[in-house]
Amino acid sequence: WVVMATGRSPTNIAVIKYWGKRDEDLILPINDSISLTLDPLHLSATTTAAVSPGFFRDRMWLNGKEIPLSGERYQKCLREIRKRANEVSDEKKGLKIKKEDWESLHVHISSYNNFPTAAGLASSAAGFACLVFTLAKLMNVKEDLGQISSIARQGSGSACRSLFGGFVKWTMGNNADGSDSLAIQLADEAHWTDLVVIIAVVSSKQKETSSTSGMRETVQTSALIKHRAETVVPARMLKMEEAIANRDFASFAKLACSDSNQFHAVCLDTSPPIFYMNDTSHRIINLVEKWNHSEGTPQVAYTFDAGPNAVLISPNRKTAALLMQRLLYQFPPNQETDLTSFVVGDKSI
């Protein structure tokens, strides 16, 4: 016999950034963060997990290619889900997997992400969210999505926010074991349907410094990061939650842009400095800043993760269309720039 489960998780884009860990093993952050979950149409991971007495070890395939599951992050996710597994039975098929059987049964996992190969966008958030979500489904784990998110967090920090749709907060928590460092939904995908997210792919090259090592170096060498984590982010979190609750785009945009800029400033304050943005990223910031300034109120928000690609958020479709036009005019398609648009999307399913 074989028992299977399938799940799908979208990616998320942080508007208040997670950067820096206080515990590297458990992946516990030094500050809270907030993100938008994108619709899974273009950027999501789909995973199928299967269990059978005929499987002799845990194995995983990513986009059709087998990858080693030996990494500590994968092992932790598997271990934590197995610990919480429950009985699975199907009377018609005469099947019964007892709670204690899960320890000795092995799983085969196949995961695909539909990220355009040239997108140069991180897929680890959607990937780990989907892995943990699907294993939890397979093993009949009863814990709520928040608890599941704290397991996904141990795969990749930002993954915990992809379990929920809409607007999501990752609370850093206080407990030493990380049990209260988890994702909470602030508002679902129906809360602010006018928003349009445009991703301007500036370069599809792999980033030179991974988020994991980049944030480690920042925590070790930057003086600015302490000020950011202790003073700036706590105040910003409150304002961002308020802006989202009130669908206040002007405030939302100001906070998102400032937070992205401060994240890149702490990267610059790292020794040796980390440069994630390039000239094109800077030109996109200029374009948006000038436009927002000339209108007297923000028309568009920008945010950049650990790479040069721009994530642009507009308050409605009309502005999004104008933005697309301006971007295409300034960055003709013969350059590397590629544009894709999204709406705020649903949770893992």
Q: Counting contacts by CB under 6 A, is residue 228 touching ligand DP6?
A: no
- The answer to whether 336 and 202 are in contact (CB under 8 A) is yes
By CB under 6 A, is residue 18 in contact with ligand DP6?
A: yes
Tokens of 78: 């598997």
Which H helix or E strand runs over 46? Answer: strand 44-52
* Residue of closest CB approach to ligand DP6: 157
- Residue placing its CB nearer to ligand DP6 in the complex, 29 or 298: 29
Residue 50: helix, strand or coil by DSSP?
strand
Pairing outcome for strands 196-201 and 59-62:
unpaired
User: How far is CA 163 from its chain centroid?
Assistant: 9
Structure tokens at 203: 């370069």
d(CA 156, CA 74) in angstroms, rounded, equals 10
Q: How many residues bind ligand DP6 (CB under 6 A)?
A: 15
- Nearer Cβ to ligand DP6, position 172 or 300? 172
Compare residues 22 and 106 and give the one whose CB is closer to ligand DP6: 22
Task: Tell me 206's DSSP state.
Answer: P
CA distance 315 to 174: 35
| 211 near ligand DP6 (CB under 6 A) | yes
| Under rule CB under 6 A, residue 80 binds ligand DP6 | no
Which residue from 157, 308, 315, 345 is in contact with ligand DP6, where contact means CB under 6 A? Answer: 157
- CA 27 to each of CA 35, 128, 164, 174, 233: distance values in angstroms, whole numbers, following the listed order: 17, 13, 19, 13, 18
Rank residues 259 and 338 by Cβ distance to ligand DP6 and give the closer one. 259
- Tell me: cis bond preceding 333? Omega within 30 of 0 counts: no
Counting contacts by CB under 6 A, is residue 262 touching ligand DP6?
Answer: no
Q: What are phi and psi of 321, to 5 degrees?
A: -65, -40
Residue closer to ligand DP6 by CB (options 33, 348) is 33
Task: Figure out which of the listed residues 212, 261, 330, 341 binds ligand DP6, where binding follows CB under 6 A.
Answer: 212
First and final CA of the chain: distance in angstroms? 25
Binding mask 48-67 for ligand DP6 (x = CB under 6 A): --------------------
The kind and range of the H/E element at 255 are helix 249-268
Pair of tokens at residue 98: 């007892």
Q: Is 14 in the site for ligand DP6 (CB under 6 A)?
A: yes
- The beta strand positions in 114-265, using DSSP E, are 167-171, 182-187, 196-201
x-marked contacts with ligand DP6 along 301-330 as a string, rule CB under 6 A: ----xx------------------------
Among 31, 44, 123, 124, the residue binding ligand DP6 under the rule CB under 6 A is 124
* Per CB under 6 A, 345 contacts ligand DP6: no
Complex with ligand DP6: residue 122 or 196, whichever CB lies closer = 122
CA distances to 15, 104, 195, 318, 337 from 311, in Å: 10, 44, 13, 17, 12
Closer CB to ligand DP6, 80 or 139, in the complex: 80
Instruction: Find the binder of ligand DP6 among 11, 37, 111, 158 (CB under 6 A).
Output: 158
For ligand DP6, the closer CB: 19 or 249: 19
Which residues of the chain form contacts with ligand DP6 (CB under 6 A)? 14, 17-19, 27, 33, 122, 124, 156-158, 211-212, 305-306
